[in-house]
Amino acid sequence: MPAVTLDHITKTYDKGKVQAVTDLSFSVEKGELFGLIGPDGAGKSTVFRILTTLLLADKGSATVAGLDVQKDFRKIRGCVGYMPGKFSLYQDLTVEENLRFFAALFGTTLEKNYALISDIYEQIKPFSNRRAGKLSGGMKQKLALCCALVHKPEVLFLDEPTTGVDAVSRKEFWDMLKRLKEEGITILVSTPYMDEADRCERIALIQEGRILSIDTPANIVKAYPEKLYAVKADSIHKLLLDIRLYPDALSCYSFGEYLHVSFRGQDKGPDLQQYLEQKGHGNVVIKETHATIEDSFIRSMGSAKNLPS
Amino acid sequence: MQQFLVFVRKEFHHVFRDKRTLLILFGLPVMQILLFGFALTTEIRNARILIVDDARDIASQQITQQVAASTYFSLEKNALTHDDLYKAFREGKIKCALIFPPHFNDDLLHFNKAQVQIIADASDPNTAKTLTNYLSAIIGDYQKRLNSTAVLPYRIEPELRMLYNPELNGSLNFIPGVIALVLMIVCTTLTSVSIVREKEMGTMEILLVSPFKPIYVILSKAVPYLALSLLNFILILLLSVYLLGVPIRGNIFLLFGESTLFIISCLSFGLLISGLTNSQQTAMLVSMMGMMLPTILFTGFLFPLENMPVPLQVISNIIPAKWYYIIVKAVMLKGMGFATIWKETLVLIGMTLFLLTISLKRFKIRLA
Amino acid sequence: MSEKAIVCKDLTKQFGDFIAVNKISFEVNTGEIYGFLGANGAGKTTAMRMLCGLSYPTSGEATVAGFNVSRQQESIKKNIGYMSQKFSLYENLTIKENIEFYGGIYGLTDRQLKDKQEELIGKLGLEKEVKKLVGELPLGWKQKLAFSVAILHQPKIVFLDEPTGGVDPVTRRQFWDLIYEASAKGITIFVTTHYMDEAEYCGRLSIMVDGRIDALDTPANLKKQFSAATMDEVFYALARGAKRSAD
pLDDT in tens, B176-206: 888 888 888 888 998 899 999 988 888 888 8
Q: What is the pLDDT of residue B360?
A: 85
- Inter-chain contact A86–B201, Cβ cutoff 8 Å? yes
For residue C221, what pLDDT band results from cuts at 50, 70 and 90?
Answer: very high
Closest by CA to A66, choosing from A157, A2, A131, A148, is A2
> Which subunits sit against B, judged by 3+ Cβ pairs under 8 A?
A, C
Q: What is the pLDDT of residue A148?
A: 92
How far A41 CA sits from the closest chain C CA (Å)?
8
Test the B interface: residue of C78, C91, C92 with most B CBs within 10 Å: C92
- Inter-chain contact A195–C139, Cβ cutoff 8 Å? no
Q: Which of B6, B14, B17 sits opposite C104 (nearest CB)?
A: B6
Domains, in order of start, for chain B? 2-40+170-362 (no CATH), 47-145 (3.40.1710.10)
Structural element, H or E, at residue A234: none
Q: Which of A136, A240, A294 sits opposite C169 (nearest CB)?
A: A294
* Distance in angstroms (rounded) separating the CA atoms of residues A83 and A52: 10
**What is the identity of the amino acid at B70?**
S
Of A165-174, B85-94, B263-272, C37-46, which has the strongest mean pLDDT? B263-272
pLDDT at B25 over 90: no
Q: CB contact, 8 Å: A307 with chain B?
A: no
Of A299-303, B48-52, C37-41, which has the strongest mean pLDDT? B48-52
**Quick one: average pLDDT of C104-130?**
84
Q: CB contact, 8 Å: C227 with chain B?
A: no
DSSP secondary structure letters along C183-205: HHTT-EEEEE-S-HHHHTTSSEE
pLDDT at C1 over 80: no
How far C91 CA sits from the closest chain A CA (Å)?
16
For residue C246, what pLDDT band results from cuts at 50, 70 and 90?
Answer: very low
**Quick one: average pLDDT of C132-152?**
87
What average pLDDT does chain B have? 85
Count Cα neighbours of C214 within 13 Å in the Cβ-side half-sphere: 21
Q: What is the pLDDT of residue B366?
A: 82
Q: CB contact, 8 Å: A85 with chain B?
A: yes
Structural element, H or E, at residue B85: helix B82-90
* Distance in angstroms (rounded) separating the CA atoms of residues A141 and A164: 10
How far B188 CA sits from the closest chain A CA (Å)?
22
Q: CB contact, 8 Å: C169 with chain A?
A: yes
Q: Which of C90, C93, C104 sits opposite B2 (nearest CB)?
A: C104
Residues of chain B positioned with their CB less than 8 A from the CB of C97: 10, 13
SS3 A102: helix
* Distance in angstroms (rounded) separating the CA atoms of residues B180 and B263: 9
pLDDT greater at residue C105 or residue B262? B262
Residues of chain B positioned with their CB less than 8 A from the CB of A133: none
How many contacts, defined by CB atoms under 8 Å, are there between A and B? 52
Q: What is the pLDDT of residue A306?
A: 42
How far C73 CA sits from the closest chain A CA (Å)?
30
How far C1 CA sits from the closest chain B CA (Å)?
27
Test the B interface: residue of A76, A87, A105 with most B CBs within 10 Å: A105
β-pairing, C188-192 vs C157-161, is: parallel
How many contacts, defined by CB atoms under 8 Å, are there between B and C? 28
The neighbouring-strand residues paired with C28 are C6
For residue B80, what pLDDT band results from cuts at 50, 70 and 90?
Answer: low
Closest by CA to C145, choosing from C109, C193, C93, C194, is C93
Test the A interface: residue of B203, B206, B367 with most A CBs within 10 Å: B206
- Inter-chain contact A105–B207, Cβ cutoff 8 Å? yes
ipTM over 0.95: no
Contacts of A134 by beta carbon, 8 Å cutoff, 6+ apart? none
For B84-143, the pLDDT digits (tens) are 788 888 877 888 999 889 888 888 888 888 899 999 988 888 888 889 999 999 999 988
Maximum Cα–Cα distance across chain B: 94
Q: Which of C170, C232, C242 sits opposite A301 (nearest CB)?
A: C170
* Distance in angstroms (rounded) separating the CA atoms of residues B331 and C132: 62
CB C133 within 8 A of CB C94: yes
**Quick one: average pLDDT of B279-302?**
84
Q: CB contact, 8 Å: B20 with chain C?
A: no
Give ∠ CA C227-C232-C235 in degrees, rounded to 5: 75
pLDDT at B266 over 50: yes
Q: Which of A80, A84, A107 sits opposite B202 (nearest CB)?
A: A84
For B301-347, the pLDDT digits (tens) are 877 777 777 888 888 888 899 999 989 888 888 888 888 888 889 99
For B132-177, the pLDDT digits (tens) are 999 999 999 988 888 888 778 888 888 999 988 888 777 777 888 8
Chain C, residues 78-97, CB within 8 A of chain B, namely: 90, 92-93, 97
C237: nearest CA partner in chain A? A168
For residue B215, what pLDDT band results from cuts at 50, 70 and 90?
Answer: confident
pLDDT at B35 over 70: yes
Q: What is the pLDDT of residue B78?
A: 66
CB B22 within 8 A of CB B16: yes
* Distance in angstroms (rounded) separating the CA atoms of residues A289 and C77: 45
Chain A, residues 126-145, CB within 8 A of chain C, namely: 135-138
Sheet of A155-159, strands arranged across = A80-83, A155-159, A186-191, A33-37, A202-207, A210-215
- Inter-chain contact C39–A194, Cβ cutoff 8 Å? no
Q: What is the pLDDT of residue A191?
A: 92
The neighbouring-strand residues paired with A131 are A94
**Quick one: average pLDDT of B34-50?**
77
pLDDT lower than 70: segments of chain A: 303-309
Count Cα neighbours of B51 within 13 Å in the Cβ-side half-sphere: 19
Q: Which of C92, C97, C105 sits opposite B3 (nearest CB)?
A: C105
pLDDT at B275 over 70: yes
Q: CB contact, 8 Å: B18 with chain C?
A: yes
> Which subunits sit against A, judged by 3+ Cβ pairs under 8 A?
B, C
SS3 B320: helix
Q: CB contact, 8 Å: B362 with chain C?
A: no
| Percentage above 90 pLDDT, chain B | 12
For residue C87, what pLDDT band results from cuts at 50, 70 and 90?
Answer: low
Residues of chain C positioned with their CB less than 8 A from the CB of A308: 170, 173-174, 177
Q: What is the pLDDT of residue A305?
A: 46
pLDDT at C85 over 90: no
Chain A, residues 20-59, CB within 8 A of chain C, namely: 38-42
